[in-house]
Amino acid sequence: MTPTDLAPTDLANALARPGRASIPYADPFSPDRPLVLECFRPQRHDPDKPVVIVQHGASRNGAEYCEAWVPAAERHGFLVVAITFPKESWPDAVTYNNGHVLTEDGALRPREGWSQAIPGRVFALLREAGVTRRDKAYLWGHSAGGQFVHRLLATQPHGIFAAVGAANSGWYTLPTLDLPYPDGLGGIGLTREDVVRFLGYPLVIFSGDQDIDGTTENFPKHEAAMAQGPNRFERAKFYLAYGQAEAARLGVPCRWTRITVPGVAHEGMKMSAFAAQHWFDENGPTA
């Protein structure tokens, strides 16, 4: 099976048995940029159980993130799909973290080619394959994946998401049309209604209270990022406050929340376990 011929029957066959599966995949709008679906199907899974889509960080370690969600998946029977963007085919923040919205010279790419649209198409393929009968998926990302996830939420339809969480993002795209993307949402065809819709979605910002090291190599240090705070923990606070202020200015609700994760630094596996506990052990599936 090559990445470009993943038909619904291929996907169904690859996930027919419980356990881990690494499935080559290429999005039809980016066929020259292969991906891998790192999946776990627990013994208790059936098509009416939830689907959790997980987005890895800058290390592109989707398999490791998939494994981190396995204990909760076994407890609750949900399917884990970690969409992995290999460094070889998705080499930088432009193509992954920022959603491949702009070309390297800053020109706007066709909307259907944005990598932010890929999770929705993967979920549609899972439905077409009969792997799930759910009409909504959970979406969660850590670090660079947190960047990818909140930008996806800003630019894509929300109807297929039961819940969305962004954890320990390095920096944030602000919910305003007054700044060009990716600093803000201006210049990429979005409208005031899109910003209002984004602010009105119950995004959960997961924030490790020990994620306070602003000196690491992968920590974003460009001007727009530094304006949001000296470390990821402070930037999460800044982002929520900015969203609330922008919603007040527009006279609309902001339904975002921020959850502080005690004792955790920039640790994707621990943040994964916390998010799984929050969504499934404490609150139960929302849809």
- Of 10, 13, 64, 71, which Cα lies nearest the Cα of 42? 71
Q: Please identify which residue in the block is written with the tokens 């406050």.
A: 241
pLDDT in tens, 159-192: 999 999 999 999 999 999 999 999 999 999 999 9
| Confidence at residue 104, expressed as pLDDT on a 0 to 100 scale | 83
Average pLDDT, the chain: 96
**Is 126 in contact with 43 (CB distance < 8 Å)?**
no
Give the 3-state DSSP-derived string for 31-93, with helices as H, strands as E and coil as C. Answer: CCCCEEEEEEECCCCCCCCCEEEEECCCCCCHHHHHHHCHHHHHHHCCEEEEEECCCCCCCCC
Give the DSSP letter of residue 97: T
The C-alpha atoms of residue 113 and residue 96 are separated, in whole angstroms, by: 12
Task: Provide the residue ranges of all domains of the chain, joining segments of one domain with +.
Answer: 3-282
pLDDT in tens, 226-259: 999 999 999 999 999 999 999 999 999 999 999 9
Assess whether pLDDT exceeds 70 at residue 42.
Answer: yes
β-bridge mates for residue 36, sequence order: 24, 84
Alpha carbon of 16 to those of 7, 110, 112, 246: distances in Å? Answer: 14, 35, 30, 46
The C-alpha atoms of residue 263 and residue 110 are separated, in whole angstroms, by: 42
Residues in the chain: 287
For domain 3-282, give the fold.
Answer: Rossmann fold (3.40.50)
Give me Rg for the CA atoms of the chain: 18
